[in-house]
Chain A
């Protein structure tokens, strides 16, 4: 039978096994590469990786910086600011489109079009329009994820049952109260889900922009260290990015369960 349930211990063992296999595979690849070239840094061994981590976290007297904290601060500030703007913007636009047919007719076509354009392909246009710096990063993230998120919210509002809307009016709600007290809580879990799904693309756009124009940040550091073939620094950075994405995903999932316990049961 397909989808047969398995015991949770088996699930954990299988999960750990997959990670162990991945690490073992990497160790084997690194070992083979170092057999061919003992000074290789493209597939660093574990001691090279450890050196890379130490280099990232130690204070650099000459440049007066610490790579990891400076890069993390820069990237996370940009990411959270961009995500925040995109979430608020998509929520407002999505709800407005779902509630008003005029707004829907006005905004749905351009948003559907923009959702299909990859932000990385428009990077030169952004540079010409908003210049470099924070504005560029925010534009990349917002342009990259807002249209898709707004459409998700809009579709969620469209799926809101008419009966509940009518009921709210019979309970004395004003139009604004229907939006704030009835429609918003209904679409909130969908918004959180869309945010979770968009963390990955947002990071892709941000890292791409940092790689091209940054002077600090994860993208910048990965580009510079890749050019120098210092993969002992690059790989831990990649692992950190993945870990951060995983953490954000888990936090949003927990938040969704906490504030919308009904959502999972309904979907």
Chain B
């Protein structure tokens, strides 16, 4: 269970914030995995999380999803409406969407049903479906229409009735993204979503994410809160910089002795910087961020380059 005594700054939701991690630490027996993670993710940010193998990226993501709660610290999800208090994560919930690399879809449902299932589970109950047939039929029609519109948006209009085993890997991940988007969660978590795809499909899906980012920018320009906030865990550094607008490096290679620890306390955040923004239809040129890529390799991935971890809330979002 999370330590709810950890200091929290807020009592009411801050609409511009989507997610906060405070003093988050996790360990398995004597093995320390995460140490004192502080993270505030602004609404509309696309955060890429990178780090060496075994640094705890997945553990951090699981703590945010709520499937494996941290031993210490809290994760809080903020609502868009400031009247709703932020909710500490106690388990997986519909305010956080997740897209996995494998098992991203329910195999027994076709694309349309896969996208509509969230609406069904969220907006109706078992009792509704069993005993309030007329209401359920009407809701079902609406859900399928909404799901169809979402699939059309991710360019899968012609694949609505295909089952996951009949789709390519890229199509499956598109449906999985649509499945998460249709629920309008506060934040969407992508756990190495394109890891098993070929380069061309990967690029196509990266551009699909950039389209969502572009919509965010348009919403901001119109004075509205952006709809999509995203954390993408990836082992592909180019992808992390290309898709995200903020890059977080989680690493076990940091100068923990300087903080007075007698043993390694676990991985912490050692890099937190904005990344260049790409437009979905612009040329994908990784040379542009060669300098940043080299810096991340040095500061996050290099076992001999030990430096202090990042101070909590030191990240400042650049005005773009």
A-side residues, CB < 8 A to B, are 161-164, 166-174, 176-177, 180-182, 185-186, 188, 260-262, 265-266
Contact = CB atoms under 8 A, between A and B. Distances in A.
Contacts of A170: 65, 92-94, 96-98, 180, 183, 185
Nearest to A176: B126
B107 A166 contact: no
A162 B185 CA distance: 21
Interface in B83-108: 91-94, 96-98, 100, 102-104, 106-108
Of all A-B residue pairs in the complex, the 8 with the closest CB atoms, nearest first, are A172-B122, A171-B118, A169-B92, A172-B94, A163-B103, A265-B165, A161-B103, A173-B121
Contacts of A167: 98, 100, 103-104, 106
Q: Which of A161, A172, A176, A186 has the most CB of B within 10 A?
A: A172
21 contacts: A162-B67, A163-B102, A164-B103, A166-B92, A166-B98, A167-B104, A168-B121, A169-B93, A170-B93, A170-B94, A171-B117, A171-B118, A180-B126, A182-B106, A185-B106, A185-B108, A186-B108, A262-B163, A262-B164, A265-B163, A265-B165
A176 B126 CA distance: 8
A162 B108 CA distance: 16
Contact of A166 (B67, B106, B108): B67
B94 A186 contact: no
B179 interface: yes
A166 B97 CA distance: 10
B108 A171 contact: no
Contacts of B94: 169-172
Given A172-B123, A177-B121, A185-B108, 7 more contacts: A167-B100, A170-B96, A170-B180, A172-B121, A181-B120, A185-B109, A262-B163
Contacts of A171: 94, 117-118, 121-122, 179, 183
Nearest to B189: A170
Interface in B60-97: 65-67, 91-94, 96-97
Contacts of B96: 170
Nearest to B96: A170
Contact of A186 (B66, B98, B107, B122): B107
Given A163-B103, A166-B67, A171-B183, A181 B117 contact: yes
A266 B183 contact: no
B65 A166 contact: yes
B95 to A, nearest CB: 8
- Report the interface size class on chain B: 20 to 34
Given A169-B92, A171-B183, A164 B106 contact: yes
Contact of A172 (B100, B118, B164, B166): B118
Contacts of B163: 261-262, 265
Contacts of B123: 172
Interface in B114-131: 117-118, 120-123, 125-126
Contacts of B102: 161, 163
Contact of B107 (A168, A177, A181, A266): A266
A173 B125 CA distance: 9
A162 B98 CA distance: 13
B64 to A, nearest CB: 11
Interface string B171-210: 0000000011001010000000000000000000000000
Nearest to B92: A169
A169 B92 CA distance: 6
Contacts of B108: 185-186, 188, 260, 262
Contacts of B103: 161, 163-164, 167
A177 B125 CA distance: 8
A91 to B, nearest CB: 16
A194 B133 CA distance: 32
A46 B166 CA distance: 51
B89 to A, nearest CB: 11
A213 B5 CA distance: 70
Contacts of B185: 170
B45 to A, nearest CB: 19
Contacts of A265: 163, 165-166
B82 to A, nearest CB: 23
Contacts of B166: 265
A164 B91 CA distance: 15
A262 B107 contact: yes
Contacts of B93: 169-170, 172
Interface in B257-292: none
B30 to A, nearest CB: 25
A181 B118 CA distance: 11
B161 to A, nearest CB: 11
A166 B91 CA distance: 9
A133 B118 CA distance: 49
Contacts of A169: 66, 91-94
Contacts of B104: 163, 167
A265 B164 CA distance: 10
Contacts of A176: 126
Contacts of A180: 126
A262 B163 CA distance: 7
B134 to A, nearest CB: 20
A28 B108 CA distance: 51
Contacts of B97: 170
